[in-house]
Amino acid sequence: MPELWGVINVTPDSFSDGGRYLDPGAAIDHGRALLGQGAAVLDIGGESSRPAGHTYGDGFAVVSAEEEIARVVPVIQVLAGEHRARVSIDTIKPEVAAAALAAGASIINDVRCAEDRGLAEAAAAAGADYVIMHNRGRGEVRPPHTDYEDVVADVLEELLRAAERVERAGVPRAAVWLDPGLGFAKTALQSAALLSSLGRFRKTGYRVLVGPSRKSFVAELAPNRGGELPAADDRLGGTAAAVAICAAAGVDGVRVHDVHVMSQLVRFAEALRGSGEGSS
């Protein structure tokens, strides 16, 4: 059964819930709620990573490392400290990662595909896990970033090269996770192809994390009957289908917003698997 990574966006502009948890108290309360709903990890970010393209326009707004640290560290201190939560810091800045690890985080979630060696060095120094999410550029969903000869083979190859960089920086292989980066520098159909090929990622021997939750590719693949795209908070059905595929593929973690619903889903999937194994 995959563990659930609950998303906490301490940002004003994240695509799904921008501004809702910018206040540290609101973020902490949300983290407590996610833990109660079954989150195994809290993935906390202080800068949006929404990609540029036809859905989100120019994409995320860059913030300084100082601002990002000010947003996330008070939240991490409470959730990792008082509540003993496993916390992942979603950042592309080594100084933010180091501050978050010092505050109690134990995982770095790197959405830039190990572009900055400093992130891996911070993880190695702290003995932290390291998630490598596949990406190109800033995740723009347009050429040349979406130009692949074979999206599954190309993403796998680029992730494995990134894993080599991370390991050379001192992170042990056992601490490395791979994330195919659904929705980042990928069209909806390319994301669907990756979601349908998760077994190939598992065969690498690395742990696999997948983040399908509420993403625009879900809306594009399942538009409303009138043709309009459902809003981010109206993509629960498609997200659930994606998470069910992840559970069936045996991935190690799924990054989600709706922890309560997805916890029920993965537990139900596990019960079905157990029932099938016990039948003659």
Distance CA 230, CA 24 (A): 29
Q: 201: which 2 tokens?
A: 């990622």
Give the start-end residues of each E strand in 67-192: 86-90, 107-110, 129-133, 176-179
CA 116 to chain centre: 18
Residues 6 or more apart in contact with residue 270 via CB below 8 angstroms: 1, 247
186 an active-site residue? no
Torsion of CA 25, 29, 30, 35, to 10 degrees: 140
215 an active-site residue? yes
Catalytic: which of 173, 215, 235, 273? 215
Report long-range pairs for 143-151 (Cβ below 8 Å, ≥24 apart).
145/185, 146/185, 146/186, 146/187, 146/190, 148/190, 151/186, 151/190, 151/193, 151/194
DSSP H or E run through 257: none
The answer to whether the CB of 190 falls within 8 A of the CB of 154 is no
Catalytic: which of 214, 255, 267, 273? 255
User: Which positions are catalytic?
Assistant: 215, 255
